[in-house]
Amino acid sequence: MELPKNAFLLALQEKRTLYGCWLGLPDPTVAEIAATAGWDWLLIDHEHAPFELSGVLSHLRTIAPYPVAPLVRPVNDDPSLLKKFLEMGVQTFVIPMIDTAEQAAACAAAVYYPPKGLRGVGTSLARAARWNQVPDYVHHANDEICLIVQAETVTALENLDAILAVPGVHGVFIGPSDLAASMGKIGQSNDSSLETAILDSIIKIKAAGKVAGILTLNEAMIEKCARAGADFIGVAVDTLLLGDAMRAGAAARK
Protein backbone atom coordinates (compact mmCIF):
# COMPACT_ATOMS: atom_id res chain seq x y z
CA MET A 1 0.00 0.00 0.00
CA GLU A 2 1.42 3.37 -1.02
CA LEU A 3 1.74 6.48 1.10
CA PRO A 4 -1.01 8.93 0.07
CA LYS A 5 0.39 11.91 -1.78
CA ASN A 6 -0.34 15.39 -0.48
CA ALA A 7 -2.89 16.71 -2.96
CA PHE A 8 -2.29 20.30 -1.87
CA LEU A 9 1.46 20.14 -2.51
CA LEU A 10 0.76 18.59 -5.90
CA ALA A 11 -1.72 21.34 -6.77
CA LEU A 12 0.78 24.03 -5.78
CA GLN A 13 3.13 22.70 -8.45
CA GLU A 14 0.67 23.92 -11.07
CA LYS A 15 1.81 27.49 -10.28
CA ARG A 16 -1.66 29.01 -10.33
CA THR A 17 -3.89 30.53 -7.70
CA LEU A 18 -5.82 27.79 -5.91
CA TYR A 19 -9.31 28.70 -4.73
CA GLY A 20 -11.00 27.01 -1.80
CA CYS A 21 -13.88 26.93 0.63
CA TRP A 22 -13.97 26.95 4.42
CA LEU A 23 -15.89 24.10 6.05
CA GLY A 24 -17.51 24.88 9.38
CA LEU A 25 -20.55 22.58 9.32
CA PRO A 26 -19.66 19.20 10.88
CA ASP A 27 -22.17 17.19 8.84
CA PRO A 28 -20.18 14.99 6.38
CA THR A 29 -22.90 15.43 3.75
CA VAL A 30 -21.91 19.10 3.56
CA ALA A 31 -18.29 18.05 3.11
CA GLU A 32 -19.25 15.69 0.30
CA ILE A 33 -21.31 18.33 -1.49
CA ALA A 34 -18.33 20.69 -1.24
CA ALA A 35 -15.92 17.98 -2.39
CA THR A 36 -17.93 17.49 -5.59
CA ALA A 37 -18.33 21.21 -6.32
CA GLY A 38 -15.01 21.80 -8.08
CA TRP A 39 -12.94 23.60 -5.44
CA ASP A 40 -9.15 23.22 -5.48
CA TRP A 41 -9.08 22.76 -1.71
CA LEU A 42 -11.31 22.60 1.34
CA LEU A 43 -10.30 23.71 4.82
CA ILE A 44 -11.79 21.91 7.82
CA ASP A 45 -11.91 24.55 10.55
CA HIS A 46 -11.30 22.95 13.94
CA GLU A 47 -10.43 26.39 15.36
CA HIS A 48 -13.73 28.24 15.16
CA ALA A 49 -16.26 25.60 14.08
CA PRO A 50 -17.85 22.96 16.38
CA PHE A 51 -15.66 20.05 15.26
CA GLU A 52 -14.51 17.31 17.58
CA LEU A 53 -11.58 15.11 16.50
CA SER A 54 -14.04 12.49 15.26
CA GLY A 55 -15.76 15.11 13.13
CA VAL A 56 -12.51 16.10 11.44
CA LEU A 57 -11.77 12.43 10.78
CA SER A 58 -15.23 11.96 9.29
CA HIS A 59 -14.70 14.93 6.96
CA LEU A 60 -11.30 13.60 5.87
CA ARG A 61 -12.82 10.23 5.00
CA THR A 62 -15.70 11.88 3.17
CA ILE A 63 -13.45 14.12 1.08
CA ALA A 64 -10.84 11.44 0.32
CA PRO A 65 -12.46 9.89 -2.79
CA TYR A 66 -12.74 13.23 -4.58
CA PRO A 67 -10.15 15.35 -6.48
CA VAL A 68 -9.87 18.13 -3.90
CA ALA A 69 -7.14 18.82 -1.35
CA PRO A 70 -8.10 18.74 2.35
CA LEU A 71 -6.53 21.26 4.73
CA VAL A 72 -7.06 21.34 8.49
CA ARG A 73 -6.87 24.34 10.80
CA PRO A 74 -6.42 23.08 14.38
CA VAL A 75 -7.65 25.17 17.27
CA ASN A 76 -4.05 25.85 18.35
CA ASP A 77 -0.46 24.67 17.99
CA ASP A 78 -0.52 22.15 20.86
CA PRO A 79 1.90 19.36 19.82
CA SER A 80 -0.36 16.72 21.38
CA LEU A 81 -3.27 17.90 19.23
CA LEU A 82 -1.12 18.08 16.10
CA LYS A 83 0.03 14.52 16.76
CA LYS A 84 -3.59 13.34 16.80
CA PHE A 85 -4.27 15.04 13.48
CA LEU A 86 -1.10 13.63 11.94
CA GLU A 87 -2.03 10.10 12.94
CA MET A 88 -5.52 10.44 11.46
CA GLY A 89 -3.96 11.45 8.15
CA VAL A 90 -3.79 15.25 8.03
CA GLN A 91 -0.99 16.30 5.70
CA THR A 92 -1.60 20.03 5.30
CA PHE A 93 -1.93 22.25 8.35
CA VAL A 94 -2.91 25.91 8.66
CA ILE A 95 -1.96 26.71 12.24
CA PRO A 96 -3.45 29.89 13.75
CA MET A 97 -1.95 32.69 15.81
CA ILE A 98 1.75 32.19 15.14
CA ASP A 99 3.49 35.39 16.17
CA THR A 100 7.16 34.43 16.34
CA ALA A 101 9.80 32.32 14.67
CA GLU A 102 10.06 30.31 17.88
CA GLN A 103 6.38 29.37 17.68
CA ALA A 104 6.76 28.47 14.00
CA ALA A 105 9.79 26.31 14.80
CA ALA A 106 7.81 24.52 17.51
CA CYS A 107 5.08 23.76 14.95
CA ALA A 108 7.67 22.34 12.58
CA ALA A 109 9.13 20.18 15.33
CA ALA A 110 5.67 18.82 16.09
CA VAL A 111 4.70 17.79 12.55
CA TYR A 112 7.92 16.16 11.32
CA TYR A 113 9.56 12.89 12.34
CA PRO A 114 13.17 12.96 13.60
CA PRO A 115 15.71 14.08 12.70
CA LYS A 116 13.76 16.95 11.12
CA GLY A 117 11.32 17.19 14.02
CA LEU A 118 10.05 15.53 17.17
CA ARG A 119 6.89 13.78 16.02
CA GLY A 120 6.22 10.65 18.04
CA VAL A 121 6.02 7.25 16.36
CA GLY A 122 2.80 5.24 16.66
CA THR A 123 2.11 3.89 13.18
CA SER A 124 0.22 0.77 14.24
CA LEU A 125 -2.58 3.03 15.48
CA ALA A 126 -2.39 5.55 12.63
CA ARG A 127 -4.77 5.91 9.71
CA ALA A 128 -1.97 7.95 8.11
CA ALA A 129 0.17 4.79 7.88
CA ARG A 130 -2.85 2.64 7.05
CA TRP A 131 -2.20 0.88 10.33
CA ASN A 132 1.32 -0.25 9.41
CA GLN A 133 0.41 -1.20 5.85
CA VAL A 134 2.46 1.59 4.22
CA PRO A 135 6.04 0.31 3.87
CA ASP A 136 8.64 2.67 5.35
CA TYR A 137 5.95 5.21 6.27
CA VAL A 138 8.18 6.85 8.88
CA HIS A 139 10.92 7.42 6.28
CA HIS A 140 8.68 9.17 3.76
CA ALA A 141 5.88 10.85 5.75
CA ASN A 142 7.83 14.09 6.16
CA ASP A 143 7.87 14.55 2.38
CA GLU A 144 4.07 14.79 2.28
CA ILE A 145 3.62 17.30 5.11
CA CYS A 146 2.78 20.90 4.27
CA LEU A 147 3.04 23.37 7.14
CA ILE A 148 1.34 26.74 6.76
CA VAL A 149 1.37 29.11 9.73
CA GLN A 150 -1.03 32.00 10.20
CA ALA A 151 0.19 35.55 10.68
CA GLU A 152 -2.75 37.48 12.07
CA THR A 153 -1.37 40.12 14.42
CA VAL A 154 0.83 43.18 14.14
CA THR A 155 3.47 41.23 16.08
CA ALA A 156 3.41 38.43 13.51
CA LEU A 157 3.92 40.88 10.64
CA GLU A 158 6.81 42.48 12.51
CA ASN A 159 8.37 39.02 12.79
CA LEU A 160 7.41 37.87 9.31
CA ASP A 161 10.94 37.68 7.92
CA ALA A 162 12.06 35.49 10.82
CA ILE A 163 8.99 33.27 10.54
CA LEU A 164 9.60 32.80 6.82
CA ALA A 165 13.17 31.70 7.52
CA VAL A 166 12.12 28.80 9.76
CA PRO A 167 13.01 25.43 8.18
CA GLY A 168 10.02 23.24 7.50
CA VAL A 169 7.54 26.10 7.14
CA HIS A 170 6.11 26.01 3.63
CA GLY A 171 4.27 29.28 3.85
CA VAL A 172 2.23 31.86 5.70
CA PHE A 173 -1.50 32.48 5.68
CA ILE A 174 -2.64 36.01 6.49
CA GLY A 175 -5.65 36.13 8.83
CA PRO A 176 -7.34 39.44 7.94
CA SER A 177 -10.03 39.54 10.63
CA ASP A 178 -7.69 39.09 13.58
CA LEU A 179 -5.08 41.26 11.93
CA ALA A 180 -7.64 44.06 11.71
CA ALA A 181 -8.43 43.59 15.40
CA SER A 182 -4.73 43.68 16.25
CA MET A 183 -4.39 46.93 14.31
CA GLY A 184 -7.23 48.48 16.34
CA LYS A 185 -9.63 48.20 13.41
CA ILE A 186 -11.81 45.24 14.41
CA GLY A 187 -14.58 44.60 11.90
CA GLN A 188 -13.14 47.10 9.41
CA SER A 189 -12.32 44.62 6.66
CA ASN A 190 -12.14 47.32 3.99
CA ASP A 191 -9.69 49.59 5.82
CA SER A 192 -6.97 50.83 3.47
CA SER A 193 -4.12 50.32 5.93
CA LEU A 194 -5.24 46.72 6.49
CA GLU A 195 -5.32 46.13 2.75
CA THR A 196 -1.82 47.56 2.39
CA ALA A 197 -0.49 45.39 5.21
CA ILE A 198 -2.01 42.27 3.63
CA LEU A 199 -0.74 42.92 0.11
CA ASP A 200 2.74 43.91 1.33
CA SER A 201 2.87 40.70 3.37
CA ILE A 202 1.89 38.54 0.41
CA ILE A 203 4.62 40.14 -1.68
CA LYS A 204 7.15 39.54 1.11
CA ILE A 205 6.09 35.90 1.52
CA LYS A 206 6.48 35.28 -2.20
CA ALA A 207 9.83 37.05 -2.31
CA ALA A 208 11.05 34.59 0.34
CA GLY A 209 10.05 31.72 -1.94
CA LYS A 210 7.23 30.59 0.34
CA VAL A 211 3.52 29.89 -0.16
CA ALA A 212 1.10 32.75 0.55
CA GLY A 213 -2.56 32.33 1.46
CA ILE A 214 -5.55 34.33 2.69
CA LEU A 215 -9.31 34.15 3.26
CA THR A 216 -11.34 37.03 1.84
CA LEU A 217 -14.87 37.22 0.51
CA ASN A 218 -14.39 40.64 -1.10
CA GLU A 219 -14.20 40.26 -4.89
CA ALA A 220 -11.91 43.26 -5.37
CA MET A 221 -9.57 42.03 -2.65
CA ILE A 222 -9.56 38.52 -4.10
CA GLU A 223 -8.27 39.94 -7.38
CA LYS A 224 -5.68 42.13 -5.66
CA CYS A 225 -4.36 39.21 -3.61
CA ALA A 226 -4.15 37.03 -6.71
CA ARG A 227 -2.23 39.73 -8.56
CA ALA A 228 0.10 40.12 -5.58
CA GLY A 229 0.96 36.43 -5.95
CA ALA A 230 -1.22 34.62 -3.42
CA ASP A 231 -0.99 30.89 -4.04
CA PHE A 232 -4.25 29.94 -2.35
CA ILE A 233 -7.27 32.06 -1.50
CA GLY A 234 -10.31 31.07 0.51
CA VAL A 235 -13.27 32.72 -1.20
CA ALA A 236 -16.29 31.03 0.40
CA VAL A 237 -17.56 29.60 3.70
CA ASP A 238 -20.11 26.78 3.82
CA THR A 239 -22.20 28.42 6.55
CA LEU A 240 -22.46 31.66 4.59
CA LEU A 241 -23.24 29.92 1.30
CA LEU A 242 -26.07 27.99 2.92
CA GLY A 243 -27.37 30.99 4.85
CA ASP A 244 -27.34 33.25 1.80
CA ALA A 245 -29.16 30.66 -0.32
CA MET A 246 -31.75 30.03 2.39
CA ARG A 247 -32.47 33.73 2.85
CA ALA A 248 -32.59 34.39 -0.89
CA GLY A 249 -34.97 31.49 -1.40
CA ALA A 250 -37.28 32.63 1.37
CA ALA A 251 -37.21 36.26 0.24
CA ALA A 252 -38.12 35.28 -3.31
CA ARG A 253 -41.40 33.77 -2.08
CA LYS A 254 -42.45 36.69 0.09
Backbone angles phi, psi at 125, to 5 degrees: -105, 5
> Which of 242, 216, 243, 241 lies closest to 228 in space, CA to CA?
216
Residue range 49-74: mean pLDDT, rounded = 98
Sign of the Cα torsion 49, 51, 55, 61 reads positive
pLDDT band at 254 (very low <50, low <70, confident <90, very high): confident
Residue 48 designated active-site = yes
Least confident of 88-97, 102-111, 141-150, 182-191: 182-191
Per-residue model confidence (pLDDT) at position 61: 98
Cis, peptide link before residue 167, omega less than 30° from 0: no
Strands (E), 79-231: 92-95, 146-151, 171-174, 211-215
> Which of 46, 117, 132 lies closest to 87 in space, CA to CA?
132
Residues of the chain with pLDDT > 90, as a percent, come to: 99
Residue range 89-100: mean pLDDT, rounded = 98
Cβ atoms of 150 and 100 within 8 Å: the answer is no
Sign of the Cα torsion 119, 78, 31, 150 reads negative
Q: Is the pLDDT of residue 189 over 90?
A: no
SS3 173: strand
Per-residue model confidence (pLDDT) at position 181: 97
Residue range 52-75: mean pLDDT, rounded = 98
Q: What pTM was estimated for this model as a whole?
A: 0.97
Average pLDDT score over the chain: 97
Predicted confidence (pLDDT) per residue in 28-54, tens digit: 999 999 999 999 999 999 999 999 999
Q: Is the pLDDT of residue 190 over 90?
A: no
Residue range 104-115: mean pLDDT, rounded = 98
**What gap in Å lies between CA 55 and CA 50, rounded to an integer?**
9
Q: Is the pLDDT of residue 78 over 90?
A: yes
Contacts of residue 29, defined as CB under 8 A and 6 or more positions apart, other chains included, come to: none
Q: Is the pLDDT of residue 110 over 90?
A: yes
Catalytic residue selected from 46, 48, 59, 140: 48
> Which of 164, 214, 172, 171 lies closest to 189 in space, CA to CA?
214
Residue range 213-234: mean pLDDT, rounded = 98
